[in-house]
Amino acid sequence: MPAIKDIMTRAVEHVAGNATVQHAAERMAEKDIGFLAVSNGQTAEGVITDRDIVVRCLALHRDPEETTVHDCMTTDITTLSEEADVEEAGKMMEERQIRRLLVADSQGRLTGVVSLGDLATGCGDDHLRSKVLQSVSAE
C-alpha cells in the first residue's frame, strides 16, 4: 500500500484569511480548483472550498467583495501524516465525509493535499479504488 507522500499533490494553493471571498473565488477559477488552504505561513488555519463560498457567503446574501475568507472558511480541518498509508486516508475521508485531507510533515508543516481522486488513481488496491469511486459518484 503506497504512502500518502507518494500520491499527494504537493503544490497546495494558499490564501490568507483576511483576503476577500471574491479574491479566493477568482484564485480558484484561475487555477481551476475548488479548494484553497487558509494559512498563516506554513501551518493551516482552515480551508475554503467552492461549496463554502456558495453556502456561507452567496446563499446568505453576503457581499463576496466585503466578506473575508475567515468569515466563510472551514476551521475543523483534518490533517494526515505524509507517512500514513492510502487505506488510512480513505477511512478518514469516509468517516468524516470529506473529499480532501491536508498532509503535514513530522513538524506539522503543510506539505500537500490528498483528494479522493488521488486515492482512486494512486492506491493500487482495486477494492479501495472501487469504494472511493462509489463515494465520489454518490455525491
Burial bucket for residue 136 (CB in 10 Å: 0-12, 13-18, 19+): middle
pLDDT band for 71, please (50, 70, 90 cuts): very high
Contact residues for 72 (Cβ-Cβ < 8 A; gap 6+): 21, 48, 52, 53, 56, 57, 62
Residue 125 has pLDDT above 70, yes or no: no
> What is the model's pLDDT at position 138?
58
Residue 119 has pLDDT above 90, yes or no: no
Residue 139 has pLDDT above 60, yes or no: no
Q: pLDDT tens digit string along 4-29?
A: 999 999 988 999 999 999 999 999 99
Q: Which CATH architecture has domain 4-138?
A: Roll (3.10)
Domain regions of the chain by residue span: 4-138
